[in-house]
Amino acid sequence: MTRAARASRIEFLLLALAFGAWFLPSGCGKGDGRKAPKPELVIEASGSFEGTLEPCGCKDGLGGLARRLGVHDKWRAENPGVPLLTLDAGRAFPMKTSESDVIVPATRQSLDMLGVSVFNVSEMDLEAGLSPFLALVREGKFQTVSTNLVSIDGNRPIFPPFVVVQGTAAGAPAGPKVAVIGTSSFDRYVVMEGVNGDRVHWLEFQKLLGDVVPKARAEADLVVVLGSFGIGAGRLVAERFPDVDLVLACSEGDDQARFYDYGKTDLVMLGRRGKYDVRIGVARGKESGTWSMTPVITELGGKAPENSEALSFVAGVKADLESTARDRAALLKKHPNRPDYLGAAACASCHAGESATWKGTRHAHAWEPMVSTKNMNNPLCLHCHTVGFMQPNGYVLASENKSLQGVGCESCHGPGGWHVADPRGNPMDKAGEATCKTCHTSGQTPDFDFATFWPKIRHGTP
């Protein structure tokens, strides 16, 4: 299936361009400046939401539900007659975080607000088991798919391997029929409890796709694979299954949204945590009758429009998070058998040089963005912007202990109470690259490189 219009590299386009005519500027990969064919369908795609409702990243601050919906609303207002289909590749629900009782249902509501039609079940979404996930998605408006989550007894699919859907325009189904297939890779083989005494497990998806793709092709005009896997697996699907028109994938290791041209099948890595608006215009050539894909990838930065309903919704979620964290903080008691967190000032008398270095770093000012963004009581931020948050004798929500606000010595080296009392008998923890990466994750600090960042805070021996 050849494609008449294809761009091998898509630049991040200005919002004004992305929301108007489907047009690829000159110099954009194979685009030659000509207007792309009017789409018969636009696919709006997301993945690796990971419960992120606000702009993500201490450096770039991209994404957020309000911007996603703001972009959606603007595009729909300017393209009322174009069928739109919204798909999600999975990794949406952080089922094992300390705030999952608030964040997980809020994320499910967010997918409904975004109009997601089909959701791919991933390994991450089942971290707490199958039954909690089933109870969660039962309240959702979207369909769930998975090719390779099956029962141990007979390898029966737990979810439909694929569904056939259409986009909508003016509130009615419209556009070509699309078969949406769900797949997920897995880090390790596990057996999970299912329902009614059954047990389930993940199988390698490649062989199963060999059976599913021909069936999907027979029932639809287009075949789309949603994948919770990295670029390597995405390329494998694109090259091994020519009947697949489009692969939309996400993974923990692919933070940025990217488009890849693999001949007959296109691959779009969707990035993480809702930082990008990804839309693929789908059009059929008048003479060839073959489909062409025109992807538009837009960073959701500060200039993106925001949806007021989403802003109110997120504010409510943050209030719930704060209330929950306050309740938990009230239950925390001082641990007499655990060392206290003291704050950086307690270290200065013996470590004057290191203290002077710390005062000149961004770590010493890490509380300031909490104030400017009104996240002083947001538990999702405080884990990395306070010292010992929710740890024994550490910072608690709404605490007046300003010495534990920000990133201090004990953020990396552990509580210092016993060390101050007996330095030789109670040495502090060693810190290194792995310590840094507990907060400087690929999602929060995509450009983190220990060799580059360490000199900015160099003190002692890493």
Q: Is residue 318 one of the residues assigned to a domain?
A: no
Q: Lowest-confidence range among 10-14, 251-255, 341-345, 434-438?
A: 10-14
Tell me the β-bridge partners of 269: 249, 258
pLDDT score, position 60: 62
285-318 pLDDT, tens digit per residue, is 877 778 889 999 999 998 999 999 999 999 999 8
Of 74, 88, 87, 10, residue with least CA distance to 41: 87
Specify whether 247 is located in the same domain as 293: yes
CATH code (residue 142): 3.60.21.10
Specify whether 356 is located in the same domain as 287: no
Q: Is residue 319 one of the residues assigned to a domain?
A: no
Specify whether 287 is located in the same domain as 383: no
3-state secondary structure of 116: coil
Q: Which H/E stretch holds residue 174?
A: strand 172-184
What is the Cα–Cα distance from 176 to 220, expressed in whole angstroms? 8
CATH code (residue 362): 1.10.1130.10
pLDDT over threshold 80, residue 23: no
Specify whether 232 is located in the same domain as 107: yes
Q: Is residue 63 one of the residues assigned to a domain?
A: yes
DSSP string spanning 363-430?
Answer: GGGTTHHHHHTT-TT-HHHHHHHBSSTTSTTS--TT---GGGBS--HHHHH---HHHHH-TTTSPPPP
Specify whether 285 is located in the same domain as 341: no
Is residue 230 within 8 A of residue 251, CB to CB? The reply is: yes
Domain housing 444 = 337-457
What band does 461 get if pLDDT is binned at 50, 70 and 90? low
Specify whether 114 is located in the same domain as 259: yes
What band does 136 get if pLDDT is binned at 50, 70 and 90? very high
What is the Cα–Cα distance from 403 to 392, expressed in whole angstroms? 16
Specify whether 358 is located in the same domain as 410: yes
Is residue 166 within 8 A of residue 149, CB to CB? The reply is: no
Specify whether 301 is located in the same domain as 349: no
**Arithmetic mean of pLDDT, 86-111:** 91
Q: Is residue 440 one of the residues assigned to a domain?
A: yes
Specify whether 369 is located in the same domain as 254: no
pLDDT score, position 57: 64
Specify whether 361 is located in the same domain as 291: no
Of all residues in the chain, what percent carry a pLDDT higher than 70?
90
What is the Cα–Cα distance from 16 to 133, expressed in whole angstroms? 39
pLDDT score, position 378: 80
pLDDT score, position 58: 63
Sign of CA dihedral 376, 377, 380, 385: positive
Specify whether 72 is located in the same domain as 121: yes
Tell me the β-bridge partners of 184: 228
pLDDT over threshold 50, residue 29: no
| Residue carrying the six token digits 């990217």 | 258
Q: Which residue has the higher pLDDT, 337 or 193?
A: 337
Q: Is residue 192 one of the residues assigned to a domain?
A: yes
Q: Is residue 323 one of the residues assigned to a domain?
A: no
Give the number of domains in the chain. 2
Polymer length in residues for the chain? 462
Specify whether 292 is located in the same domain as 402: no
pLDDT over threshold 70, residue 128: yes
Long-range contacts of 156-159 (CB under 8 A, 24+ apart): 158/130, 158/194, 158/200, 159/121
pLDDT score, position 300: 93
221-274 pLDDT, tens digit per residue, is 999 999 999 999 999 999 999 999 999 999 988 888 999 988 889 999 999 889
pLDDT score, position 25: 31
Q: Is residue 2 one of the residues assigned to a domain?
A: no
What is the Cα–Cα distance from 86 to 18, expressed in whole angstroms? 17
